[in-house]
Amino acid sequence: MPTQTLQIPTADGQADAFAAFPADGERHPGVLMYPDGFGIRPVLREMAQELAGHGYYVLVPNPFYRHGPTPVLDLPEYIGEEARPAIFARLMPMIEAHTTDRILRDADAYLEFLTARPEVGPGPVATTGYCIGGLLATHTAAAHPGRVAALAAFHAPVGAAGPDTLHRLTARGHFGHAETDLTPEALGELNTTLDAAGVDYTSEIYPGTVHGFTMADTDAFDAAARQRHWESLLALLGRAF
């Protein structure tokens, strides 16, 4: 599986990124994969490669490149509960500084870069993300209705995008929520907003999961839920492309 480390020109500098794609020399649909707050690391590279193995060019940018290249944070191999307070003390200021304006400027640059890759086929792309990355994916899809055909977000604060953003969505969507992230009532409110926008989507709570359930290097990891996430994501991409 070919992989690359790349530099994406943005309005505010250079964002480093990781890409994985099939080795057949053909052009494939592009997928912009936003990492969770912990950023690009072995588990994200593995997930990008797994998705690429299904016939996609997968680009994973470093959203916090303004604070330095990957690894922006020094992380242990396994992010246990004892390590989280110190990590979040450094991470939260970066998340808070990552305003909607920054998100949208970066999204413009990421999509321009992705669609220009010689390995990416013509036409729209997909965007997906985890945790805060799911919110970034949602903003990206809403801001680029003609360029993003599919949107997936997992254990992500999708509702934080706000009704105005959600109402602009035209991409097919899948939203896989952790059971600890929102109540059934909150899920109903989110789905009502998506229904009002006329979005073609699925949105569901993955039973028994906690925030971060897709990430194998954390205590939140749930193997069955991650497999369900792959099935949902691949089905979504299959319908979009």
Contact 64, 94 (CB under 8 A): yes
Query: If you ran DSSP here, which 8-state letter would residue 231 be given?
Result: H
Q: At what angle do helices 100-116 and 132-143 cross, to 10 degrees?
A: 70
Longest CA–CA span in the chain (Å) reads 47
For the whole model, what pTM was predicted? 0.98
Q: Which residues of 127-162 are buried (b: 16+ CB within 10 A; e: fewer)?
A: bbbbbbbbbbbbbbbbbbeebbbbbbbbbbbbbebe
Distances (CA, A) of 11 to 1, 32, 53, 141: 31, 18, 32, 19
pLDDT at 1: 86
pLDDT at 207: 96
Contact 55, 28 (CB under 8 A): yes
Tens of pLDDT along the chain (241 residues) come to: 899 999 999 999 999 999 999 999 999 999 999 999 999 999 999 999 999 999 999 999 999 999 999 999 999 999 999 999 999 999 999 999 999 999 999 999 999 999 999 999 999 999 999 999 999 999 999 999 999 999 999 999 999 999 999 999 999 999 999 999 999 999 999 999 999 999 999 999 999 999 999 999 999 999 999 999 999 999 999 999 9
The backbone torsions φ and ψ at residue 4, rounded to the nearest 5 degrees and listed phi first, read: -145, 150
For 8-40, the three-class secondary structure string (H helix, E strand, C coil) is EEECCEEEEEEEECCCCCCCECEEEEECCCCCC
Fold of 3-240: Rossmann fold (3.40.50)
